[in-house]
Amino acid sequence: MELKENKFEQIKYLLSEKRYIEVQRTLAELNEVDIAEFLESESAQNAILMFRMLPKSMAAEVFTLLPKEQQSRFIAAATDKELVSILDEIFLDDMVDIVEEMPANVVKKILKNTGSEERMLINQFLKYPKDSAGSLMTIEYVDLKKDMTVKQALDYIRKIGLESETIYTCYVTDKNRVLEGFISLKELVLADEDKKIEQIFNKEYICVNTHDDQEKVAFTFKKYGFLALPVVDNENRLIGIITVDDIMDVMEQEATEDFQRMAGMQPNEETYLETGIFKLAKHRIGWLLLLMVSETFTGTIIERYTHLLASMTILTAFIPMLMDTGGNSGSQSSTLIIRGLATGEIELKDWKKVFFKELGISVLVGFTLGLFSFLKSVFLGGRNPMVALTVGATLVATVSVAKITGGILPIIAKKLKLDPAIMAGPLITTIVDTVSLIIYFKIATVLCAGMF
Amino acid sequence: MELKENKFEQIKYLLSEKRYIEVQRTLAELNEVDIAEFLESESAQNAILMFRMLPKSMAAEVFTLLPKEQQSRFIAAATDKELVSILDEIFLDDMVDIVEEMPANVVKKILKNTGSEERMLINQFLKYPKDSAGSLMTIEYVDLKKDMTVKQALDYIRKIGLESETIYTCYVTDKNRVLEGFISLKELVLADEDKKIEQIFNKEYICVNTHDDQEKVAFTFKKYGFLALPVVDNENRLIGIITVDDIMDVMEQEATEDFQRMAGMQPNEETYLETGIFKLAKHRIGWLLLLMVSETFTGTIIERYTHLLASMTILTAFIPMLMDTGGNSGSQSSTLIIRGLATGEIELKDWKKVFFKELGISVLVGFTLGLFSFLKSVFLGGRNPMVALTVGATLVATVSVAKITGGILPIIAKKLKLDPAIMAGPLITTIVDTVSLIIYFKIATVLCAGMF
């Protein structure tokens, strides 16, 4: 890593000395990811200067890694000839991403400089639903035929390999492009050169459909540990492939979305630092308002019991603790269940197991907290035992309601085809608040009746 | 997928008819992951029967995919000869995982049936810290020398390839095993056979140290999109490699741990359904108790203002709403910052940006909620305008405190080398509760002073 930093310093020095040939040589020794990071940190002018020095194949990859503002600046600065040479090297899936995100004038310049066939493909790709397998795939794959020999297959790979996103998994298709199976480069390299593909390829394959959701695709990758997955249409024709590096981004993005939804926000695909405060505020305010209005119930309940609170003001002092403990208990359960549903570990049919598990945990946790609170209030706080008993009993009931609600609501949401992640902390807390206040006042009315 | 289910049905039928040769043939056509899933769902007796029918190479992989109870049952049932033949085929990293998780008597049987060299390696691997690169890596990689030709390299790969976890990235080392660079199989296959490795291998490489944390390893994979990463010791000697399929599990596990910590639980590596209620309860109760005790502060504050609440009972009705809105606002901010720190998007040096962003959002969100609440209380609720103003002003202050605390505390935790994920919803809520109650009563004392 330090080596890399040294190179950056060296390049900066060479640039300031205008020793461009050495700059070019040093840049070519670096990894594309690091170059992109370096260009991002440099002035716009230097960045464009260095970008133009990159070998064609590197330039394309560096370009796809840059933030979109810099991409559009580079496109604006590029001549038509430069643009054609970069665009030629970019894989179709990255190209589609770029076209989707760039402002209209930049897109126009891009499309002017791509061939008509590629333009047609881009348009076709743009039609796949967002977050579908179709929108993730690329069409630069290696397809083999059954009657090829291993030697022929390897020669073919040598011919088209450079333009393929991966050559490590090759797909076998029939004359109508229908997928018949796959063979890994490992198997090819280790096999006898004269064998026919037919004899050695794997006929049992896992594939996804162009319209499958990216969450399902990520799940399949994780389950089978593949490096690439074929994407087929409804007639089982091979349309494209998805590679594992793109899936790592999907996994991270899906987890981030769940984090956001579970904290009561609209998911945001941009990064935090890149997003403006108006957009961030907009994504947060909806749920806050909704939950704030829902809390009107708690106010109504408290008002109904004003006489009780007025004669026993001490009861008010426990309200925040009771409500927060309930909220926290519910969040714990809902978080585990939402995450389990997301990773595929928990399924709808497990609802009974979840119910009884949360019931058992409620008893253990509820009684421990209730007893602790009772003893602490009486012996350390010097409270009236009846008040302490009211608080302790409410804790047992609240924790139980919270844990069972938190455990079951995400499953119900999934059953109703809603995103289980909305049944998280904020919403559970609001529900549990109302229920726990009612329980609290009911118990207080019974236990503390003689004390008014 | 349906095809697969049909095969399972077919196998069950063949089994019941005792047509074992056909069972064997049908099993061999399936993917190892699916076979493992199928064995899991079958009776112990049938599972062992079918497991014994699998070809040796498949048996090893299926074995590593089974749940640990089934693994130890299979080991118990296996003859020494069978065990040797399975253990021979298992990659070292999987073997170490198995030894770590099995009960002592099973481990004894395993170690009895492994060679002394392998036993030494296992012991050495067990010494790497949990969640370190060393504990994730495997030693079955392809190492090349600079003076080999491409043809020699490919022949060497054909020779040792079957026993390597991946042949797609090959590493170039000197005579002291010091890592010098790497070359991909793609580059080898596409290169001229007579070229020397020296002329074409990549000297700029990214590697991790055996003691690096798995989170850093996952981050490096994600950043560079590699299929494998070399692991070196402090003298830069190549010790092993980590492959991308293992990293997908790490990514999922790290995200799950963050979800658990952020909901105030001790992280649990077992799945929810596999974990008993006592363990689940134990993991949850610590934080709940701590937070419950911390809420004593809110009780103390409320008691100090009993006179105010007694004369204006209406103020009590707003306490749950104020506290929940504060808690939710804080959770939103802390979730985004914790997640940003985890994915590497936000760094310590960004704290100022976060501060000003959250300040800006607080103003927007706080005033919107405050104004809405004021208007709703006065015009829909018919409240006294001074009470409504007190609530509205408290909302502005609470949302601001919550958002800034939620934004900055995770960064401070990271700076102090604590896990930022503990500065999430539950803890932020407890802090914000106390602050918001103080603000509420202070404002009420001033604004509603004339109304006692």
Say whether pLDDT at A1 is over 60: no
Say whether pLDDT at B232 is over 70: yes
Say whether pLDDT at B403 is over 50: yes
Q: Which of A315-319, A434-438, B110-114, B415-419 has the highest mean pLDDT?
A: A434-438
Say whether pLDDT at A276 is over 50: yes
Q: Do A284 and B361 touch (CB under 8 A)?
A: yes
pLDDT at B419: 81
- Chain B neighbors of A255, CB-CB under 8 A: 255
What superfamily in CATH does domain B2-127 come from? MgtE N-terminal domain-like (1.25.60.10)
Instruction: Produce one character per residue of A232-263: b if its CB has 16 or more CB atoms within 10 Å, e if not.
Output: bbeeeebbbbbbbbbbbebbbbbbbbbbbbbb
The pLDDT-based confidence of B189 (bands split at 50, 70, 90) is confident
Q: Do B255 and A255 touch (CB under 8 A)?
A: yes
Residues B280-288: contacts with CB within 8 Å, 24+ apart?
B280/A357, B280/A361, B281/A360, B281/A361, B281/A364, B281/A365, B281/A368, B284/A329, B284/A332, B284/A361, B284/A365, B285/A364, B285/A365, B285/A368, B285/A369, B287/A328, B287/B426, B288/A325, B288/A328, B288/A329, B288/A332, B288/A365, B288/A369, B288/B264
CA distance A131 to A135: 6
Task: Please check whether residue B235 is in contact with residue B173, taking contact to mean a CB–CB distance below 8 angstroms.
Answer: no
User: Can you tell me the mean pLDDT for B336-356?
Assistant: 85
Least CB-CB distance to A272: which of B259, B340, B430?
A: B340
As separate numbers, helices (DSSP H) first and strands (DSSP E) second, chain B gives 24, 6
Least CB-CB distance to B256: which of A319, A320, A339?
A: A339
Say whether pLDDT at B292 is over 80: no
Q: Do B340 and A289 touch (CB under 8 A)?
A: no
CA distance B142 to A425: 49
- The tens digit of pLDDT for each residue in B34-63 reads 888 888 888 888 888 888 888 877 888 888
Least CB-CB distance to A222: which of B224, B252, B357?
A: B252
Least CB-CB distance to A346: which of B273, B318, B334?
A: B273
Q: Do A221 and B168 touch (CB under 8 A)?
A: no
pLDDT at A51: 85
Interface test with B, best of A11, A61, A324 (most B CBs within 10 A): A324
- The tens digit of pLDDT for each residue in A165-202 reads 788 889 999 888 899 999 988 888 888 888 898 888 88
Q: How close B264 comes to chain A (CA, Å)?
A: 7
Least CB-CB distance to A221: which of B248, B361, B368?
A: B248
- The tens digit of pLDDT for each residue in B408-450 reads 888 988 888 888 877 776 778 888 888 888 898 888 888 876 6
The chain-wide mean pLDDT, for chain A, equals: 83
**Nearest chain B alpha carbon to A154:** B189
User: Can you tell me the mean pLDDT for B87-106?
Assistant: 77
Say whether pLDDT at B3 is over 80: no
Q: Do B361 and A281 touch (CB under 8 A)?
A: yes
Least CB-CB distance to A328: which of B206, B291, B302?
A: B291
Say whether pLDDT at B165 is over 80: no
Interface test with A, best of B142, B150, B183, B324 (most A CBs within 10 A): B324
pLDDT at B172: 92
Which CATH code fits B277-451?
Answer: 1.10.357.20
Is the pTM higher than 0.80?
no
User: Can you tell me the mean pLDDT for A315-343?
Assistant: 85
Percent of chain A surpassing pLDDT 90: 2
pLDDT at A17: 85
Kindly list the domain boundaries of chain B, sorted by start residue: 2-127, 143-243, 277-451
- Looking at residue B312, the DSSP 8-state letter turns out to be -
Q: How close A188 comes to chain B (CA, Å)?
A: 10
Interface test with B, best of A8, A167, A323 (most B CBs within 10 A): A323
pLDDT at B1: 45
Q: Do A264 and B331 touch (CB under 8 A)?
A: yes
Task: Please check whether residue B133 is in contact with residue B228, taking contact to mean a CB–CB distance below 8 angstroms.
Answer: no
- The tens digit of pLDDT for each residue in A125-148 reads 777 887 888 888 887 888 889 889
User: Can you tell me the mean pLDDT for B53-77?
Assistant: 82
- Chain B neighbors of A190, CB-CB under 8 A: 158, 161-162
Q: Do B167 and A154 touch (CB under 8 A)?
A: no
The chain-wide mean pLDDT, for chain B, equals: 83
Q: Is B185 helix (H, G, I), strand (E, B) or coil?
A: helix
CA distance B436 to B430: 10
- The tens digit of pLDDT for each residue in B325-336 reads 888 888 888 888
Say whether pLDDT at A161 is over 80: no
- Chain B neighbors of A245, CB-CB under 8 A: 225, 244
Burial of A7 (0-12, 13-18, 19+ CB in 10 A): middle
**Proportion of chain B in helix, strand, coil states, percent, rounded to 5:** 70, 10, 20
Q: Do B332 and A271 touch (CB under 8 A)?
A: no
Q: Do B320 and A323 touch (CB under 8 A)?
A: yes
Question: How many inter-chain contacts (A to B, CB under 8 Å) are there?
Answer: 328
The amino acid that residue A260 corresponds to is Q
- Chain B neighbors of A278, CB-CB under 8 A: 364
Least CB-CB distance to A364: which of B247, B278, B314?
A: B278
Task: Please check whether residue B329 is in contact with residue B398, taking contact to mean a CB–CB distance below 8 angstroms.
Answer: yes
User: Can you tell me the mean pLDDT for B347-365?
Assistant: 87
Least CB-CB distance to B310: which of A273, A288, A310?
A: A310
The amino acid that residue A385 corresponds to is P
Q: How close A361 comes to chain B (CA, Å)?
A: 5
Least CB-CB distance to A288: which of B186, B271, B328?
A: B328
- The tens digit of pLDDT for each residue in B14-30 reads 888 888 888 888 888 88
CA distance A189 to A184: 9
Q: Do A309 and B306 touch (CB under 8 A)?
A: no
pLDDT at A450: 64
Interface test with A, best of B192, B220, B284, B334 (most A CBs within 10 A): B284
**Nearest chain A alpha carbon to B300:** A317
Q: Is A183 helix (H, G, I), strand (E, B) or coil?
A: strand
Q: Do B277 and A361 touch (CB under 8 A)?
A: yes
pLDDT at B450: 64
**Nearest chain A alpha carbon to B186:** A167
pLDDT at A452: 53
Instruction: Determine the longest span between alpha carbons in chain B, in angstroms.
Output: 97
What superfamily in CATH does domain A143-243 come from? CBS-domain (3.10.580.10)
What are the tokens at A63? 């370009």
**Nearest chain A alpha carbon to B164:** A186
Say whether pLDDT at B111 is over 70: yes
